[in-house]
Structure 1
Amino acid sequence: MTIDIAGFDTDAFVAATLAEDLGEAGDITSAAVIPADAMFDGVMDSRDAIVVAGLPLAEAFFRALDPDVAIERLVADGDRVAAGTDILHLRGRARALLTAERSALNTVQHLSGIATLTRAYVDAIAGTGAILLDTRKTIPGLRLIEKYATRMGGATNHRMGLWDAAMIKDNHVAVAGGVAEAARRAAAAGIASIIVEVDRIDQIEPALAAGATHLLLDNMAPPTLRAAVTLVGGRVPTEASGGVRLDTIRAIAESGVTYISVGRLTQSAPAADIGLDLAPR
């Protein structure tokens, strides 16, 4: 079972994660304590109200060690579930399933935590017309699945990497010698999507004149954002960014910006409380 993420190698991820946990000696606890022919009938459940993400990866971990395991997904990725909800049922060889348990749970807990936090931000701006974006503030090696989790929570992916759009930020501007010069060089290089970060209203017109196709309005208060949106007048999309919190995002969205990017979706999301227990009989 693979997860539908372009460019993500589920088999390689599962193999590397299990290898990290097993080391050279393997699961010495399960080998010593559990008979080789023992079966395990278990239920994965959420102890909190969450948005689920990562169940296909959990399934991949279990199938990697027990290809004959019977698995029933009781909910789907992207579903919002109440505390106490059973989300996955599995039955198979006990040694294999308990060896895979922590890797499967770690993954689903992490991705569901991201999806749950993302949904809270999406709900906070409902009806404003603003679109929530994630960022590149991801754990190295996990970007594709973390950005998958933000999609499950209702966000839209921003840049996947350094390759799919130019984003001219303050350090680029400082080295290039100004907003306009940096944008001009990107346009001259033939880059189609040029995102330019501005932190002052007076940088907007020079950035647009030099070829910006998207403006990132950095750390601006809502009144300043409204003025910036009015000045831009729909010529390019506008994006509010910097220090956005759950208690401030509504006011930011009501400024009229096209997008709001939030790094803490992937950078600071707490893991969801999800467990795997022997199924009740």
Structure 2
Amino acid sequence: MPERTYRLVIGAARAGFAALGLRIDLHGAEHLPRTGGAVLASNHVSSPDFLFVGLVGRERGRYVRFLAKHGVFLPPVVGDAMRAMRHIEVDRAHGEIALRHAVQAVRAGEVVGIFPERTVSHSWELRPFRPGAAAVATWCQVPLVPVAVWGNHRIGRSGRGGRFGLRRGTPVTIIVGEPILPEPDADPYAVSEQLRARVATLLAEAVDTYPDRPSDDADRWWVPRSRGGTAPGVEDGLRIDEEGMRRADLAAERRARRSRRRARAAARQARRG
């Protein structure tokens, strides 16, 4: 059942990619082992990043079990699909629970996908990394595979000023680097810094080799400030990111409260009936 659902979702995603005429360029997928546990760790520039990082797994005949925030599992259809594909729910207040599930999956020979930045970076620059991906790879003694994705943050926005609207024919670059093999006694925080440096190098390569350039000044929104773009600077980006996480957490809590109220009401109705 999990793989059947996953295949259906992949098929739908690929049909969407084709309909949008996306030009996907994937390099280095051979760095992900074909068998055994592994951790894929990627930068995070858009909500659908998992669709593109997941292509690395499919290139190697693997299914990637992603850690995803709690709110993604709340909508009935989407949540059911996420659970069916054995993705791992993350409650930011209790992240250690998700890490335990990730360890179980990796020790069972699965590939687990983690975005160490925790949320989408609105500066398009790397945010600070949380040590979870490095910790899972170190504890389980499996390859920690760095990934950089670039260009997919343009898909849901127009070419001028970053206004919302689907964009056709967008190039998307995905680069997979050589895996890190942490020592059994390695400090996960030190491994996480090594991982961040690897992802930074891959991201720089993805930006340097990206086939598109802004068409004019109004089209520089998708380029980092450090490269002459008009994206928020790193500090402003971090503030926007944190505000976005707070709003998302509040919205998720409101949805959860509504769900609990509906469940209690249904239970009362069932008892009366």
Do they superpose with TM above 0.5? no
Normalising by structure 2, what TM-score? 0.29
Select the structure that is richer in helix.
2
